[in-house]
Structure 1
Amino acid sequence: MKKIGVLTSGGDAPGMNAAIRAVVRKAIYHNVEVYGIKYGYQGLIDGSIDKMELGSVGDIIQRGGTKLYSARCEEFKTEEGQLKGIEQMKKHGIEGLIAIGGDGTFMGAKKLTEKGYPCIGVPGTIDNDIPGTDFTIGFDTALNTIIDAIDKIRDTATSHERTYVIEVMGRNAGDLALWAGLADGAESVLIPEFEDEFNDVIDRLKRGHERGKRHSIIIVAEGVGSGVDFGRKVKEATDLETRVTVLGHTQRGGSPSASDRVLASRLGAHSVDLLLNGKSGRMVGIQQNKLVDHDIVEILNTKHQVDLDMYRLSKELSI
């Protein structure tokens, strides 16, 4: 294999640039040309493809977002769109593709692999919702962004003796909410994987108020529902002064943490190794700090599981 392509697709995540850098430099180290595909699968269809050099990825390891940009692409879900992408790769002589993103990105890689184009998926999403890897690129940075925000909000909650409902991202996974809740000592954490009865949250708030606690933090994962709606229900049920903060897209930006930079570098380099060793249709990951790879089809057919022990611990520590 003499030429490979790399793209980022779906939601951006801190550390994607570090992964791109690792792919480019690892490939060039092995005398393989690398072509950057801008705007994900849409750019593949449109031919937004440029050769990358060592200097192309200089001074990007510390930057959030993605140098190659990202976009959603409905057309690539069709066979016609996939064939257009393959024609563009043939035109540039690209023999294999590394796709950085989440499950939607991996679905595109799966389709290309089935049509004879070797692809490797690299998990890049703040949601940490990809099976087969302990962590995804961007999760650690987003988590620390959330923790920093909650620390600041707690100062205000304490000063004004208020209850704060904080809505965090995560799509249909509760990892961000659970980890943030445990790290910041939240009184309640609501995640989509478990049905946390509203009355349980209210009872916990009332017990705390009775023993003299005058401020509380409740974290709601977006997969559960609207933090604004939940805050309104809390106010009505307790008559406690309640405020709501929706952290939004601040969670997706920012300079990646050291952990995400190292993870992205390891996964990006490993994906090149797999391609050069003739592997295809695989997703790289990390488990117990060891690099692993799995069949993409298997990953797409496996449901993400939240850490049940951590969820139980969060309940036990928030009595």
Structure 2
Amino acid sequence: MKRIGVLTSGGDSPGMNPAVRAVVRKAIHEGMEVYGIYQGYQGLIEGNIKKLEVGDVGDIIQRGGTMLYSARCPEFKTEEGRLKGIENLKKHGIEGLVVIGGDGSYMGAVKLTELGFPCIGIPGTIDNDIPGTDFTLGFDTALHTVIDAIDKIRDTATSHERTFIIEVMGRNAGDIALWSGLAGGAETILIPEAKDEFQEMVDRLRKGQERGKKHSIIVVAEGVANGNEVAKQLHEAAGIETRVTVLGHIQRGGSPTAQDRVLGSRFGGRAVELLLEGKGGRAIGIRKNEIVDYDIMEILGEPHHINADMYRLSKELSI
């Protein structure tokens, strides 16, 4: 294999740039040419493809987001759209592709592999909701952003003796809420994997008030409900007044942490090695600090699981 491509797709996440850098430089080190595909699958269809040299990925390891940009592309879900993309791959002589993104991006990689273009998936999403890997690119950076916000909000909650609700991202996974809530000392963490916790939260807040507790932090994963809905329910059920903070897309930005930079570098390097081995339809992950790879189709249909021990501990520590 002499020519490969790399693209980023779906929501951006810190760590994508380190991964792109690693793919480009590892491939060039191995004597290959690398082509960047801009705006994800949309750029593949439109032929927005450019050869990348070593200098093109200089000074990006510390930058959040993605230098290749990203875009949603419903057209690529159609056979006609995929055939357009394949035509552009052939035009540039590209023989393999590294796809950095979430589960939707992985599905595109599967379709291309089935059509004869081997693809390797790198998990890039702050949600940490890709099965088969302990961590995804961007999750650690997003956690630091959320924890910093929780610490600042707690100062105000303490000063004004109020209950604050902080809504975090994660789609249908509760990892961001659970990890940041535990690290930030939240009194209550609401996650999609345990949707029956509302009454327990009310009881916990009441018990806290009875023993003189004046303030609380509630972290809500967006997959459960939005923060304003929880605030309304709390007021109706227990007469508790709250203030709501929705962190939103601030969680996706920022300079990647050391962990995400190292993880992106390791993922990118391994992706190139797999293509050199003639493999496609594989996804890369990390388990117990070891880089692994597995069949994408084996994990696409698997449900996301939360760390049950960590969730139980969060409740034990919030008494």
**Is TM > 0.5 for Structure 1 vs Structure 2?**
yes
Question: C-alpha separation between the residues in 2 aligned to 1:241 and 1:140?
Answer: 32
Q: Is the 8 A contact 2:231 2:241 kept in 1?
A: no
Per-residue displacement from partner, 1:47-79 (whole Å, max 9, x unpaired)? 000000000000000000000000000000011
Question: Secondary structure at the residue paired with 2:225?
Answer: coil
The CA RMSD measured in Å over matched residues stands at: 0.7
Partner Cα separation in structure 1 for residue 256 and residue 105 of structure 2:
21
| Residue 189 of structure 1, CA deviation | 0.5
Alpha-carbon deviations, 1:251-271, whole Å to 9, x = none? 000000000000000001100
- How many residues of Structure 1 are paired with residues of Structure 2 in the alignment? 319
CA distance in 2 between partners of 1:67 and 1:272 (Å): 19
Q: In the alignment, what sits opposite 1:305?
A: 305
User: Which position in structure 1 is the counterpart of 2:261?
Assistant: 261
In structure 2, distance between residues paired with 1:233 and 1:306:
25
* Secondary structure class of the residue paired with 2:274: helix
Structure 2 SS opposite 1:193:
helix
Runs of 5+ in structure 2 lacking a partner?
none
| AA aligned opposite 1:298 | E
Task: Tell whether the 8 Å contact from 2:190 to 2:197 is kept in structure 1 after alignment.
Answer: no
Cα distance in 2 for partners of 1:116, 1:310 equals 42
Distance between the aligned counterparts of 1:193 and 1:13, measured in 2?
23
Q: What secondary structure does 2:7 align onto?
A: strand
Offset at 1:292?
A: 0.2
Q: Would you say 1:29 and 2:62 are equivalent positions?
A: no
**Where do 1:174-189 residues align within 5 Å?**
174-189=174-189
Determine the structure 2 residue equivalent to 1:2. Answer: 2
Q: CA deviation at 1:16?
A: 0.4
Q: Which residue of 1 aligns with 2:229?
A: 229
**Equivalents in 2 of 1:27, 1:192: separation in Å?**
40
Cα pair 2:39 2:69 within 8 Å, conserved? yes
User: Which letter does structure 2 place at the counterpart of 1:258?
Assistant: A
TM-superposed deviation, 1:241: 3.0
Structure 2 residue matching 1:172: 3-state secondary structure: coil
Counterpart contact for 2:37–2:48, Cα < 8 Å: yes
2:120 aligned partner? 120
Higher deviation after alignment, 223-232 or 128-137: 223-232
Q: Structure 1: how far apart are the matches of 2:150 and 2:226?
A: 18
- Where does 1:1-319 land on structure 2 (aligned, <5 Å)? 1-319=1-319
Amino acid across the alignment from 1:202: V
Q: Using the TM superposition, name which of 74-83 and 190-199 deviates more.
A: 190-199
> What displacement does 1:299 show?
1.4
Residue pair 1:10, 1:101 contacting (<8 A) in 2 also: yes
Query: Residue 107 of structure 1 aligns to which amino acid in structure 2?
Result: M
Counterpart of 1:260, as a letter, is D
- In the aligned structure 2, how far is the partner of 1:2 from the partner of 1:295? 23
Distance 1:11 1:240 in 2: 35
Give unmatched runs, 5+ long, in structure 1. none
Q: Is the 8 A contact 2:12 2:70 kept in 1?
A: yes
Structure 1 distance, partners of 2:108, 2:300, is 11
Cα distance in structure 2, aligned partners of 1:234 and 1:211: 19
The one-letter amino acid paired with 1:252 is: R
Letter in 2 for 1:94: I
Deviation of residue 302 (structure 1)?
Answer: 1.4
Off by >3 Å, runs of 4+ in structure 1: none
AA aligned to 2:295 is: D
